[in-house]
A and B are shown apart, each in its own frame.
Chain A
């Protein structure tokens, strides 16, 4: 069959343009068509690139991050609860009826969300602003922005802005689409000015079935799920936790005894931020105060992500779950009683849904019996009789609670907290015990342990037992001291299999085995922190272990090398044994230079090359460039002595010069190794290579550059990365990688000790000594936050801050008026003094904050590192709120110190009473000669600006003094001495303990002076001298200078006063004087009289008019006043009506909107 090709398409004609281009007339190829535009484009690209840059910051979020804290914030009645319900419903298909406390849900494969509703309360807003990762800012779209929203945004700003998503609700209430659109636009632009241009604002229309429309919620959920978060500085340096469950575990008997006793409380939650230290962490709980964590423990994640769960299943940590449970697991809200199952440290609680027991209506004998027991005034055995366990035994009166003992052990650093401590330690009981422990906790760390070899476990078991012994002093069987004394006869133990015929060895086989392990497995890492072993002992044990293990290793591994290595090893360790370091003289123990045993060193380092052979490679010789080998002949005279042939007298062995022999040996062993390598399977080689690569990967650049010194300009950083920014980022990434690798090498117990409990872990924290009010008034609507404190933040001192009154705050702030600061984790009241710096020479106190400027403030409080932002309010109580903007000031910490130097200007005033030429006697400034003596030499100044100096006190009138001036002063001058008086800020640090109150929103600290005066109806004290009065300034009249004739005549010509003689001739005018007379005179007289009459008439008319006018103006003013009053009333009524939802809202929020009911 013939092949049939498709017919060719006709060739298209080239367009003229293309033709022209082909002829080399392409304008684009040779010149820029629009250079300006190109330049603009380039500039823009640059700008956009530059904007990308932020200060490189370490992101310490672990692989399995903690839930994202989503705070829903808004004024009451904006639909916060409805939003949470809708979102929870969207994620879990679970309808919450009552939201109390945080609700954690799984939102994606690797993301969980913790929703928390922020009550309408300043304390809650501040606390939530510090921990929220994402803020859903609810705005009533129909009403607009309200004061709470603005306040919240201004709280966020100084504490590091988290992500903000505006949500406008109630948009269904708009009548016309046009007004809706306009309103949306207005809201959006307002939000942009507050947050940033382009901030997302969501719109939610009406409520259906108690939820927002599904489609809108779905969109919102998607938005939340893709949101990325930038690390914030404070949270990147501190660990924190949002409590989602709080249980009081104080012994009930103690509460019975004293209901006000400080409580022992467990708090549960996910760790956020940096890892929480495992031991005695200091924390601050806003609303309570500074506390010390007495115990932390990691619990199984109650709300694991699918990713984590899958990983756990793959690793065999947990069994594959049944499908059914999943629905229960994806929501976790223990305070809201949702889900029904609660897993605790040692119990599982199942909510059976209904209350089967009502107090006072007991059913059956059992319930009555139990209730009866509960009502007993004293516990069993209390009182004089005591309790008798066995008949005939002595009555017990007191017994240490077992619980405490366990706690003690836990406080000791045996990492294995969960496992029950056996009373007697027998190898046999061990296995079963551990299994039980594991089942109880289901802790994955423990599973790790089981996988590890039993030896290790047995070892650590023995360690634990050692601890038990030490604490109780009961079990002496395996005390470390015993095993220590046995160390000497290690050989006996070693050859016990030789005696195996003898049955004696069997008697305590387990014992011996344990001891064996103790001996073999002394790991310096573990030994270090066993506090009951003294440091000297630690080193001794460790060195013995070293000795035995090397010998053992040598035997096991390569017998060929044995002689060599043993020689070397022996040599080395013998040196250590009869060490070159002498036991330190007890007298001078705190010495830095180690003590050397001179004789030993002399033997070691002179003559014999054996010791030097070991370190020979560590020296770079002068000849190393030319010749790798050390050539002894190149050295100065001593060379021969050192490297020449000589005979070791003790052994009788002749040692030849140089290191040729050793090197030969090395090369031989090298060859052997090579052969061995060949024999090694490829897999092994690959494995080794992989290991090597991994190690290389974890090298830090700095380590690599070490070897080549003097790099100078060609820094590897510059070579590898385009910009400094890139280099820094790479450095950070590398460091994180190193951290990760380092921590992953550790087992989980060590890791927790070294690193702490890292973010994402669900932990149970036990805190002792929490005031009982916290538990008694616990209200889950108010968040409980635990924020860790750095070591330096635990101190009190003076903070110098840059502070600015908020421009929306109505009043300026006054020095020495108390202010509530939100700084770091803390909220506290303190008394600031505002200062300004007089050209950096002194800090001068200001009475009030400047109107539109920053000033410096100083107050007493916890020392938070400089560069931390804060905000301040005058009152946190809702009752005190007047509806005005409450954030009084914002600022940043500049400096911390234990003392401050603030001065106040002081002017002392005096008057002269006798004036000589440049000297004057001044009175009224001081009261005694002693005071004057103190100020001798001080600069003084008159009001007119003549400067002077205090010379000396006058003897006679007490307090008067002589002063000199640069010019003669006047009697009317006032003399001023300007001085600086040091003042100290008051030391008030009053933490806001809002969580200990019944009315949590009504905390009140020290009140402002003005408030107190207002309440007590006291007048503002006013000094008479400080009053402002009208200043009367009489005009000074100076007499003309008259020089007497006698003097004048005696003056020299130069100083003659030029004076004109009176004119003798008649002047022109005098000559031409016209005298009026006759009719003209009469006319003028007449005219004058008429004009007088007229003037009088006009004056009277004017007066009358003025009278009328004032009456009229008065009336007008009255009307105006009335109008204004009416308008004000109308306005008040209008806003009252508009803000109706506010009045419905209880102080804690949760207000239901009533407008919805109208429809």
Chain B
């Protein structure tokens, strides 16, 4: 008597649903995937993601219907290993890497993943953002020692980039998080501005633009420049910047932007800097690009209550959908309440509209981890 599959419909949150299914071990069935669309069914990147899942797991069964509008996924066990994956150019490698980061720590062994394709496209998390902002968030859960090396930078549309990710740390379960007391203060701003197949001067122009906007913060700002030359560069020209506002406690806010056609580097820098300010202004412990990973890691913790502070602006439709998906998968609910000010005269928290999200872990244990 095996539990019936969990039913979802539509292509929304495709990756996250598969991740939740893999972590919980429950089979899922997703139907009506773009069934009313001109091109119905799964997109190339979604199929590619399914392939990647198949590669890092053992015993997964994936059934895609003839039209591609229905997918049945029976998850196997996460085994990791050494995997090379060629990502389609429609999405950046961040699209594939982000869910893998959630799965890999709960596998059997270390994961060494090489992803080829577009390294950042302004839609999915760029590789620099993942390294500088997502890894510190994972460290909060006791998942350490991640390494990400950009071997080649690939800009859209032709990509040609290559990223090597090494995730050696296999854990039994994430540590219960307690971060609901104080919104972190940004102590420094860091960033990486990169360019490939364009004049190296554009990187400096990006940095200049970003620093110009960020100067009002008065914060120590340093933006590294990374100019890809020769072998290191991909097939298309492009530039962009990824900014991270770090707090002393290790929490960080992030924003990035990628140069589009006809955009000046200064514009790109300024845009990223403004987005960063916007993210900082939302408050909470994390910004919007990290929050989903954070919530999932909290849910699969021990059977204790973890708490985290979340800015109001961070709670959006995607957040609500995630919580609902979690409920259908594990039956657990998340509690959200308004943050009470400890000190009324705490000036820095003023004007922030923050919520404490408290989550009781589901008592997840990485069952594929070997002993002895």
What 1/0 mask marks residues of chain B from 54 to 82 whose CB sits below 8 Å from any chain A CB?
A: 00001100000000000000001101000
Does the CB pair B305–A739 fall under 8 Å?
A: yes
- For A791, give its contact among B14, B25, B281 (CB under 8 Å): B25
Does the CB pair A899–B59 fall under 8 Å?
A: yes
How far does the Cβ of B41 sit from chain A's closest Cβ, in whole Å?
A: 15
Does A589 belong to the interface (CB within 8 Å)?
yes
Question: How many residues of chain A have a CB within 8 Å of chain B?
Answer: 111
Does the CB pair A622–B305 fall under 8 Å?
A: no
Does the CB pair B24–A791 fall under 8 Å?
A: yes
Q: Which residues of A contact B151 (CB under 8 A)?
A: none
How far does the Cβ of B66 sit from chain A's closest Cβ, in whole Å?
A: 23
How far does the Cβ of B59 sit from chain A's closest Cβ, in whole Å?
A: 3
- For A60, give its contact among B187, B249, B283, B303 (CB under 8 Å): B303
Does the CB pair A615–B280 fall under 8 Å?
A: yes
Does the CB pair B324–A792 fall under 8 Å?
A: no
Does B216 belong to the interface (CB within 8 Å)?
yes
Does B220 belong to the interface (CB within 8 Å)?
yes
Q: How far is the CA of A289 from the CA of B1 in the complex (A)?
A: 7
How far does the Cβ of A850 sit from chain B's closest Cβ, in whole Å?
A: 18
Q: How far is the CA of A589 from the CA of B10 in the complex (A)?
A: 11
Asked, given contacts A601-B275, A639-B215, whether A592 binds B98 with beta carbons under 8 Å apart, the answer is yes
Does B274 belong to the interface (CB within 8 Å)?
yes
* Chain B residues numbered 301-350 whose CB sits less than 8 Å from any CB in chain A: 302-305, 307, 312-313, 315-318, 320-321, 323-324, 327, 329-337, 340, 342, 344-345, 347-350
Asked, given contacts A528-B336, A615-B277, whether A673 binds B355 with beta carbons under 8 Å apart, the answer is no
Find the A residue at minimum CB distance from B331. Answer: A279
How far does the Cβ of B311 sit from chain A's closest Cβ, in whole Å?
A: 11
Does the CB pair A596–B1 fall under 8 Å?
A: no
What 1/0 mask marks residues of chain B from 278 to 314 whose CB sits below 8 Å from any chain A CB?
A: 1011010000110010000000001111010000110
Does the CB pair A703–B304 fall under 8 Å?
A: no
Does the CB pair A866–B331 fall under 8 Å?
A: no
Does the CB pair B336–A290 fall under 8 Å?
A: no
Q: How far is the CA of A639 from the CA of B218 in the complex (A)?
A: 9
Does the CB pair A528–B334 fall under 8 Å?
A: yes
How far does the Cβ of A831 sit from chain B's closest Cβ, in whole Å?
A: 19
- For B278, give its contact among A290, A531, A568, A601 (CB under 8 Å): A601
What 1/0 mask marks residues of chain A from 711 to 753 whose CB sits below 8 Å from any chain B CB?
A: 0000000000000000000000001101100110110001001
Does the CB pair B367–A738 fall under 8 Å?
A: no
Does the CB pair A754–B289 fall under 8 Å?
A: no
Does the CB pair A596–B219 fall under 8 Å?
A: no
Does B362 belong to the interface (CB within 8 Å)?
yes
Q: Which residues of A contact B329 (CB under 8 A)?
A: 791
Q: How far is the CA of A735 from the CA of B306 in the complex (A)?
A: 9
Find the B residue at minimum CB distance from A284. Answer: B1
Q: Which residues of B contact A589 (CB under 8 A)?
A: 11-12
- For A593, give its contact among B124, B181, B370 (CB under 8 Å): B124
Does A1102 belong to the interface (CB within 8 Å)?
no
Q: How far is the CA of A176 from the CA of B176 in the complex (A)?
A: 63
Find the A residue at minimum CB distance from B276. Answer: A605
Q: How far is the CA of A581 from the CA of B279 in the complex (A)?
A: 11
- For A618, give its contact among B1, B348, B362 (CB under 8 Å): B348
- For A535, give its contact among B178, B188, B317, B332 (CB under 8 Å): B317
Does A460 belong to the interface (CB within 8 Å)?
no
Tell me which of A282, A590, A636 has the highest count of chain B C-beta atoms within 10 A of its own C-beta. A590
Q: Which residues of B contact A546 (CB under 8 A)?
A: 312, 353
Q: Which residues of B contact A291 (CB under 8 A)?
A: 1
Q: How far is the CA of A529 from the CA of B333 in the complex (A)?
A: 8
Q: How far is the CA of A700 from the CA of B308 in the complex (A)?
A: 12
Does the CB pair A666–B371 fall under 8 Å?
A: no
Does A277 belong to the interface (CB within 8 Å)?
yes
Does the CB pair B1–A863 fall under 8 Å?
A: no
Does the CB pair A738–B336 fall under 8 Å?
A: no
Does A150 belong to the interface (CB within 8 Å)?
no
Q: Which residues of A contact B185 (CB under 8 A)?
A: 617-620
- For A539, give its contact among B11, B317, B365 (CB under 8 Å): B317
Asked, given contacts A590-B15, A642-B215, whether A746 binds B317 with beta carbons under 8 Å apart, the answer is no
Asked, given contacts A699-B181, A742-B307, whether A896 binds B368 with beta carbons under 8 Å apart, the answer is yes
How far does the Cβ of A657 sit from chain B's closest Cβ, in whole Å?
A: 12
How far does the Cβ of A612 sit from chain B's closest Cβ, in whole Å?
A: 6
Does the CB pair B340–A592 fall under 8 Å?
A: no
Does A638 belong to the interface (CB within 8 Å)?
yes
Does B233 belong to the interface (CB within 8 Å)?
no
Does the CB pair B125–A593 fall under 8 Å?
A: yes
Q: Which residues of B contact A598 (CB under 8 A)?
A: 271, 274
Q: How far is the CA of A281 from the CA of B363 in the complex (A)?
A: 14
Does the CB pair A703–B181 fall under 8 Å?
A: yes
Does B3 belong to the interface (CB within 8 Å)?
yes
Q: How far is the CA of A673 from the CA of B98 in the complex (A)?
A: 47
Does A984 belong to the interface (CB within 8 Å)?
no
Asked, given contacts A735-B176, A746-B335, whether A755 binds B3 with beta carbons under 8 Å apart, the answer is no
Q: Which residues of A contact B274 (CB under 8 A)?
A: 596, 598, 601-602, 604-606
Does the CB pair A866–B303 fall under 8 Å?
A: no
Does B213 belong to the interface (CB within 8 Å)?
yes
Q: How far is the CA of A623 from the CA of B350 in the complex (A)?
A: 22
Does the CB pair B2–A290 fall under 8 Å?
A: yes
Find the A residue at minimum CB distance from B218. Answer: A621
Does A439 belong to the interface (CB within 8 Å)?
no
* Chain A residues numbered 782-803 whose CB sits less than 8 Å from any CB in chain B: 790-797
Does A366 belong to the interface (CB within 8 Å)?
no
Does the CB pair A630–B289 fall under 8 Å?
A: no
Q: How far is the CA of A1061 from the CA of B361 in the complex (A)?
A: 101
Does the CB pair B187–A695 fall under 8 Å?
A: no
Q: Which residues of A contact B330 (CB under 8 A)?
A: 277, 791
* Chain A residues numbered 756-809 whose CB sits less than 8 Å from any CB in chain B: 790-797
Q: How far is the CA of A695 from the CA of B108 in the complex (A)?
A: 40
Does B190 belong to the interface (CB within 8 Å)?
no
Q: How far is the CA of A754 from the CA of B362 in the complex (A)?
A: 10
Q: Which residues of B contact A237 (CB under 8 A)?
A: 303, 363, 365
Does B162 belong to the interface (CB within 8 Å)?
no
Does the CB pair A612–B123 fall under 8 Å?
A: no
Q: Which residues of A contact B180 (CB under 8 A)?
A: 703
How far does the Cβ of B255 sit from chain A's closest Cβ, in whole Å?
A: 8
Asked, given contacts A591-B123, A743-B305, A791-B24, whether A897 binds B333 with beta carbons under 8 Å apart, the answer is no
What 1/0 mask marks residues of chain B from 242 to 278 whose CB sits below 8 Å from any chain A CB?
A: 0000001110000110000000000000110111011
Does B351 belong to the interface (CB within 8 Å)?
yes
Does the CB pair B363–A290 fall under 8 Å?
A: no
- For A642, give its contact among B216, B302, B316 (CB under 8 Å): B216
Does A864 belong to the interface (CB within 8 Å)?
yes
Q: How far is the CA of A791 from the CA of B363 in the complex (A)?
A: 9
Does the CB pair B324–A292 fall under 8 Å?
A: no
Write 18 A-B pairs (CB below 8 A) sorted by A numbering. A279-B331, A289-B1, A529-B327, A539-B315, A592-B292, A605-B273, A617-B349, A618-B185, A619-B219, A620-B185, A643-B216, A696-B342, A706-B248, A706-B249, A707-B182, A743-B305, A792-B367, A867-B371
Other than the given A274-B303, A618-B185, A621-B219, 5 more pairs (CB < 8 A) read A290-B3, A594-B289, A666-B347, A706-B184, A791-B26
A interface residue numbers (CB < 8 A to B): 58, 60, 237, 274-275, 277-282, 289-292, 524-525, 528-529, 531, 535-536, 538-539, 542, 546, 568, 572, 576, 580-581, 588-594, 596, 598, 601-602, 604-606, 609, 611-612, 614-615, 617-623, 630, 634-636, 638-639, 642-643, 666, 670, 673, 692, 695-696, 699-700, 702-704, 706-709, 735-736, 738-739, 742-743, 745-746, 750, 753-755, 790-797, 863-867, 894-899
B interface residue numbers (CB < 8 A to A): 1-3, 11-15, 24-26, 58-59, 76-77, 79, 94-95, 98, 108, 122-125, 176, 178-188, 211-213, 215-220, 248-250, 255-256, 270-271, 273-275, 277-278, 280-281, 283, 288-289, 292, 302-305, 307, 312-313, 315-318, 320-321, 323-324, 327, 329-337, 340, 342, 344-345, 347-353, 355, 358, 360, 362-365, 367-372
User: What are the 7 A-B residue pairs with the smallest beta carbon separation, nearest first?
Assistant: A898-B59, A617-B348, A621-B218, A706-B249, A700-B178, A279-B331, A535-B320
